[in-house]
Amino acid sequence: MKVNWKELFPEPIRTILGRMPPALLDQVEEVRIREGRPLEINAGNTYHFLTPQGSPTGNPEEAYVPQKEVTHRLLDLISNHSLYTLEEELRKGFITIPGGHRIGLAGRTVLSGGRVEYLRDINGFNVRVAREVHGVADRILPYLIDMKSGQVFHTLILSPPQQGKTTLLRDLARQISSGTKLTGGSELLQGIRPRLKVGIVDERSEIAGSYKGVPGFDVGPRTDVMDGCPKAEGMMMMLRSMSPDVLIVDEIGRPEDAEAVMEALHAGVSVIATAHGRDLSELSARPALRTLIAEQMFQRYVQLQRTSRGMTFRLADGKMRVLQQTGAGGEAFG
């Protein structure tokens, strides 16, 4: 189900966004709404406040300031006028809506037994705009395929937040599932058409953008999606019931995630996962990932970085030997 993300907002925010310069509007990745504070956007990894006329400004005093009635209307819209149906999402602190757009929430927590039971008095929203970019994986996928077997190498994609991991993951799923030959005529891909069964474990409904279980993004014709399911449990369910050739999962980091990845690797299933981190040394400091890295369970590492010219990547094998990279002045993908 495709959703125009600009239609998610109540007036006057919708009108303000519509007044933005089109080139800037096309780059919007986040819209941050904080009750009683300036309206802010992240566009092209640069933050701006927005005036009532839709103009970007660095001065918060010039910006439009949403008040309680606007934030309440926004909450009504994103919850479809029923917060009670979103109790689990509110416990996690975010809501994913049709189209894969994720809305982070801030407010007052209600605790039970020392754990977050509920989120109330919600007054802060971070709307993350999900986009589908066909071809973003073109320059990376050749290095993720074993030329002898035609199978996909176990791969970990890493970067800080908002560098394009989920967008890349989505296109990898599409291309591996469809077997569509990549554009660009890379010699590495001659005769390689995987057409493998792909299983996506989409805990936050961001990769496939599912609505009522049906993917909103093109993730390929041979792809099954376990939507809204915790990663570790979802990987085990996929292994037991859907016999995937490749498992795709976003943002691993907990001990149970690492155990499920290990189980999949030992079952002969390829895994492509992402994790937050600037480099492997940072990831190695996290106990849940340290063993996977130390034992070279991943055969490929893709490190993403965003620059003013687009996305660049550095690709290494399981022994951390660099196979390919683009520098700040080189050609970028995406």
What is the spatial order of strands in the sheet that 115-128 belongs to? 56-57, 46-50, 40-43, 28-34, 115-128, 101-112, 94-97
193 CB burial (10 A radius; 0-12, 13-18, 19+): middle
- Per-residue tokens: 182: 């990549």
Looking at per-residue pLDDT, the higher value among 190 and 302 belongs to 302
pLDDT of residue 194: 59
Where does the chain show beta strands of DSSP type E? 28-34, 40-43, 46-50, 56-57, 94-97, 101-112, 115-128, 155-159, 198-202, 223-227, 246-249, 270-276, 300-307, 310-317, 322-325
Tens digits of residue pLDDT in 195-216? 899 999 999 888 998 877 889 8
Tens digits of residue pLDDT in 241-297? 999 999 999 999 999 999 999 999 999 999 999 999 988 888 888 888 998 998 899
pLDDT of residue 274: 96
Q: In 3-state terms, what secondary structure has residue 102?
A: strand
Q: Would you put residue 112 in left (φ > 0), alpha (ψ -120 to 50) or beta?
A: beta
Alpha-helical (H) ranges within the chain are: 13-18, 22-25, 68-78, 87-92, 165-178, 231-241, 255-266, 280-284, 287-294
- Per-residue tokens: 296: 């070279």
End-to-end CA distance of the chain, in Å?
24
Categorize the per-residue pLDDT at 3 as very low, low, confident or very high, splitting at 50, 70 and 90: low
Rg (CA), the chain: 21
Cα–Cα distance for residue pair 161/71, rounded to 1 Å: 26
- Per-residue tokens: 196: 């493998």
pLDDT of residue 193: 55
Answer yes or no: is pLDDT of 312 > 60: yes
pLDDT of residue 331: 38
pLDDT of residue 149: 83
Helix axes 287-294, 255-266, angle to 10 degrees: 30
- Per-residue tokens: 72: 């309440």
Mean pLDDT of the chain: 86
Answer yes or no: is pLDDT of 106 > 70: yes
Answer yes or no: is pLDDT of 5 > 90: no
Cα-Cα-Cα-Cα dihedral sign, residues 167, 9, 4, 122: positive
Residues 6+ away with beta carbon under 8 Å from 179: 193, 194, 195, 196
Cα–Cα distance for residue pair 12/30, rounded to 1 Å: 17
* DSSP per residue, 208-227: S--BTTB-SS---TTEEEEE
Neighbour tally for 326: CB within 10 Å:
19
Q: What distance lies between CA 280 and its chain's CA centroid?
A: 19
pLDDT of residue 146: 87
Neighbour tally for 147: CB within 10 Å:
12
Tens digits of residue pLDDT in 42-68? 998 899 999 999 999 999 999 999 999
pTM over 0.95: no
Cα–Cα distance for residue pair 214/208, rounded to 1 Å: 8
Cα–Cα distance for residue pair 27/24, rounded to 1 Å: 5
Cα-Cα-Cα-Cα dihedral sign, residues 246, 249, 253, 255: negative
Average pLDDT rounded to a whole number, residues 27-54: 95
Cα–Cα distance for residue pair 228/105, rounded to 1 Å: 17
Cα–Cα distance for residue pair 164/269, rounded to 1 Å: 24
